[in-house]
């Protein structure tokens, strides 16, 4: 028993040193206003500021809207890849896997080439608006929904679809009544993962150069780097971490239900 604890010690210590310790520092800093001492002052300051409330709202609605977009687009794409036999379906599925390894800013960069001020369709100025961020996030995160859906669809017995069809169900009814109910766990798992990732997305927001779009991670960045308001940045970071952890817990519950 003691020996096992001995083995457990190095990784735990390492984890604590490189990860948990800085995190505690962030939490600690958030309770230490520049004026000195320990107080809730930074929290009341930040919560009272319009910038924070706006950033919170922007973060949440963009994340929720992106997730919804990813779910709809991902479901349609996965349906086509899995059930419409077309040459190259396997390659497309493989590409989805590769896509997951791309860095997020790459998509934004690519979008800049098309929609940016010097891009192909330069007259569109929407990339610097929240819609640009939304488009980039939906583009980037959709494969995160497609992946689990394809796994779920591969488990689906095609005999069920044929049975439904011979019973007189048209394709739309089969999708609604047979495929969708069986894809729900995968949709929930993929959706909550995308939601968490969207809430914390930094690269895409930064790269679109959307001045008016300030999300929580952007707020942390601007407070800490541009304004040197460390306590304020830490408060926002703590809020962001709490939301993420809360959603992660939700994701775990959902994915365990799904047996994934």
Question: Closest approach of Cβ 181 to another protein, in Å?
Answer: 5
- Note whether 152 binds another protein by CB under 8 A: no
Q: Considering only residues 180-199, where is the footprint of another protein by CB under 8 A?
A: 181-182
Which range touches another protein (CB under 8 A), out of 45-53, 117-125, 135-143, 176-184? 176-184
In angstroms, what is the minimal distance from the CB of 174 to another protein? 9
Q: Which of 14, 160, 227, 253 binds another protein (CB under 8 A)?
A: 160
CA distances from 165 to 20, 80, 83 (A): 55, 17, 14
Give least dist CB 211 to another protein, A: 48
Q: How far is the CB of 167 from another protein (least distance, A)?
A: 3
Residue from 1, 167, 211, 259 binding another protein (CB under 8 A): 167
Which member of 11, 36, 168, 259 binds another protein (CB under 8 A)? 168
Question: Is the Cα dihedral 25, 235, 247, 150 positive or negative?
Answer: negative
212 touches another protein (CB under 8 A):
no
36/168 with CB nearer another protein: 168
* Residue closer to another protein, measured from CB, 204 or 254: 254
What's the helix, strand, coil split of the chain in %, to 5? 80, 0, 20
What does the DSSP assignment read for 24-82? Answer: HHHHHHHT--TTSS--SHHHHHHHH-HHHHHHHHHHHHHHHHHHHHHHHHHHHHHHHHH
Question: Which parts of 214-243 interact with another protein (CB under 8 A)?
Answer: none
The residue among 237, 202, 200, 186 whose CA lies nearest residue 78 is 186
Positive or negative: CA dihedral 149, 151, 155, 158: positive
Size of the site for another protein (CB under 8 A): 17
6-34 burial, b if ≥16 CB within 10 A, otherwise e? eeeeeeeeeeeeeeeeeeeebeebbbbbe
How far is it, in rounded angstroms, from Cα 93 to Cα 78? 9
Asked whether position 91 contacts another protein by CB under 8 A, the answer is no
Nearer to another protein, 17 or 180 (CB): 180
Say if CB 59 and CB 199 are below 8 A apart: yes
* 154 lines the binding site for another protein (CB under 8 A): no
- Binding residues (CB under 8 A) for another protein: these are 157, 159-160, 162-170, 173, 177-178, 181-182
């Amino acid at each position: 028993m003691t020996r096992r604890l001995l083995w457990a010690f190095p990784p735990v210590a390492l984890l604590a040193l490189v990860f948990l310790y800085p995190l505690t520092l962030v939490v600690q800093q958030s309770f230490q206003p520049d004026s000195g001492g320990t107080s809730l002052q930074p929290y009341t300051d930040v919560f009272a500021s319009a910038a924070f409330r706006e950033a919170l709202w922007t973060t949440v609605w963009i994340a929720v809207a992106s997730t919804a977009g990813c779910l709809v687009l991902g479901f349609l794409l996965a349906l086509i890849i899995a059930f419409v036999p077309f040459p190259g379906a396997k390659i497309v599925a493989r590409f989805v896997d590769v896509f997951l390894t791309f860095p997020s800013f790459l998509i934004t960069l690519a979008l800049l080439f098309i929609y940016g001020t010097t891009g192909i369709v330069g007259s569109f100025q929407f990339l610097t608006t929240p819609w640009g961020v939304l488009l980039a996030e939906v583009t980037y995160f959709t494969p995160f929904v497609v992946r689990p859906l394809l796994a779920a669809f591969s488990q689906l017995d095609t005999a069920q679809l044929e049975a439904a069809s011979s019973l007189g169900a048209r394709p739309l009814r089969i999708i609604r009544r047979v495929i969708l109910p069986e894809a729900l766990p995968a949709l929930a798992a993929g959706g909550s993962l995308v939601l968490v990732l969207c809430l914390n997305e930094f690269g895409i927001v930064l790269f679109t150069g959307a001045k008016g779009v300030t999300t929580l991670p952007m707020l942390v960045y601007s407070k800490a780097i541009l304004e040197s308001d460390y306590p304020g940045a830490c408060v926002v970071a703590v809020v962001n971490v709490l939301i993420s952890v809360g959603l992660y817990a939700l994701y775990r519950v959902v994915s365990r239900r799904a047996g994934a």
